Amino acid sequence: MTRVACIGECMIELRQAQGGQGGGLYSRGYGGDTLNTAVYLSRLGIDVDYITALGDDALSDEMIAGWAAEGIGTKRVARLPGKLPGLYLIQTDDKGERRFFHWRDSAAARNLMDLPETEDILNSLASYDIVYLSAITLSILQDVGRERLLTALKRARLLGTRFAFDTNFRARGWPDLNVARKVFSSAFEGADIVLASTEDLAPLYPGESTTALLAGISSPEVVLKLAEPACILRSTGGSGEVRAEPLTKPVVDTTAAGDSFAAAYLAARLGGAAPADAARAGHRLAGVVVCYPGAIIPRYAMPPKKAPRPSTSRKASS
């Protein structure tokens, strides 16, 4: 049985060539927060499906082929005739600072909750051990679609599925912060695991202390990543701080640090690790990822796998 489903959007990425300015050359790739997590979950030995909507174009075909090559299941990818994936462009200045430009208003993924196959997709969520999605996933859906997805997750939880929510917050996706706060509150109430950060939550709850931010998350298991290389963990077994080990290489690119942390944390929990050990695994993988350019590091750079303890049931690691 597939263990994890990741729900979200993957976009076409245009990245400015090193040293390029203005009308310089751009390289093409793909990117998406939940897709990055799916890749790292697969590399960590977890069976994972990616749930999204794409067009029927050659670029969408290329995406699916790439995901399959990473061992990610694509049977839940809806294909929409005449639609295209979203696109974003990264522009880098001479100091290495990056700016992002998005074209996603008519992207296929925005229609994921409004398709003939949507009901089958939502019913399938109960077949997974964990369903993982982020605030970006919810931001691309309309109100009705968000409610439909969160309601389906409630049903799936009654049958043993756990819901993991990542607070990956991007202000451009939430023009009304009151709407964002309402959606976050619903996700917190419905989630079994919340992977949060002070960086994500500070714009939503300005002036709140770390203690207050943590208290505002009602989920039974919470990882709150801090500005420094550490996180605060709260679970039924207690709470405390888990610090990352010092890096032995310079930081090159922080892209997908949070996505890879989430993958290693969830993989460890599925393997029976305690939350604190899972947080340490998250720190280790994120610490490797930030030492390489781009969201997905070379396969040879992946840390050695640690054999997980077998779980006796879907609830064994909760």
- In the chain, what are the domains? 3-9+33-83+106-298 (3.40.1190.20)
What's the average model confidence in pLDDT over 282-300?
92
Is the model's pLDDT at 137 over the cut of 50? yes
Strands (E), 167-220: 193-197
Q: How confident is the model at residue 1 (pLDDT cuts 50, 70, 90)?
A: low
Query: Which pLDDT score, from 0 to 100, does residue 311 have?
Result: 40
d(CA 119, CA 122): 5
How do residues 183-214 score in pLDDT, each as one tens digit? 999 999 999 999 999 999 999 999 999 999 99
- Which pLDDT band holds residue 307 (cuts at 50, 70, 90)? low
How high is the pLDDT of residue 43? 97
Mean pLDDT across 101-127: 94
- Give how far Cα 215 sits from Cα of 218, 221, 310, Å: 7, 12, 33
Tens-digit pLDDT profile for residues 212-260: 999 999 999 999 999 999 999 999 988 999 999 999 898 888 888 999 9
Cα dihedral across residues 61, 64, 66, 71: positive or negative: negative
pLDDT of residue 28: 87
CB atoms within 10 A of CB 106: 10
Sorting pLDDT into bands at 50, 70 and 90, what band is 2?
A: low
C-alpha dist (Å) from residue 13 to 38, 232, 262: 18, 33, 22
Q: Which of 174-178, 220-224, 299-303, 304-308 has the lowest mean pLDDT?
A: 304-308
Sheet holding 87-92, edge to edge: 26-31, 11-16, 87-92, 98-103
On the question of pLDDT at 309 being above 60, the answer is no
Q: pLDDT tier at 310 (50, 70, 90 boundaries)? A: very low
Active site residue 94: no
Element at 37 (helix H, strand E): helix 33-43
285: part of which helix (H) or strand (E)?
helix 275-289
Q: What is the pLDDT of residues 30-40, one digit of tens each?
A: 889 999 999 99
Helix, coil or strand: residue 109: helix
pLDDT at 215: 95
Strands 130-134 and 98-103: unpaired
pLDDT at 316: 35
Lowest mean pLDDT among 28-32, 48-52, 136-140: 28-32
In this structure, are residues 190 and 146 in contact, taking their beta carbons and an 8 Å threshold? no
Q: Does the pLDDT at position 98 exceed 80?
A: no
CA distance 225 to 233: 9
The neighbour count for residue 316, using CB atoms within 10 Å, is 13
Residue among 49, 129, 166, 259 flagged as catalytic = 259
